[in-house]
Amino acid sequence: MHYWFAYWWLIFPIGVFVAGGWQSWLSYLRRKQELELLKHYVAQGKDPPPELSKAVSGEHTADPAMGGYYGPYGWRARRWGWGWSPYWAWQRAIVMGAISGGLYYWANYVNDNDQARSGVMIAVIITGIIAVVSAFFALMMTLNPPK
């Protein structure tokens, strides 16, 4: 039980890894289905629909409502929404900085257990690094907007 209280925060990075693996698996299955459908058309001697050919080859059509397919912030903005805009990058940096600061305050001024303090300080370091990296990316996105 001691390990649970010392390393409870590992649930979050492990959850991120599991979610990323799940997303990769679903992407693989979607790609596999597209290729199977393309094989089905080829086996029948028919021409596949242009949308299927574009999806399999990686080409995409332009969407005028989004400023072209890639939109103002690249393919990530189209794939994952506006989470890759400077606004969300700054929000991510501020939230992670606040979490890091709150954990630091709790570990040093509220908590009186030295073992818990050392475990929480690892989380403070990790969230602090994420906050600094997010702030760097937000600054780069703000100063160098995509063309």
| Residue 27 · residue 138 · CB < 8 Å | no
**At which residue do the structure tokens 């990790």 appear?**
126
Name the pTM for this structure.
0.48
> What is the Cα–Cα distance from 87 to 90, expressed in whole angstroms?
5
How many residues appear in the chain?
147
Tokens standing for residue 132: 């600094």
For each of the chain's 147 residues, which pLDDT tens digit applies?
677 778 888 899 999 999 989 988 988 898 888 889 888 888 998 888 887 777 776 655 444 444 444 444 455 555 545 555 678 888 999 999 999 999 999 988 887 888 888 888 999 999 999 999 999 988 988 888 655
**How many other CB atoms are there within 10 angstroms of residue 104's CB atom?**
17
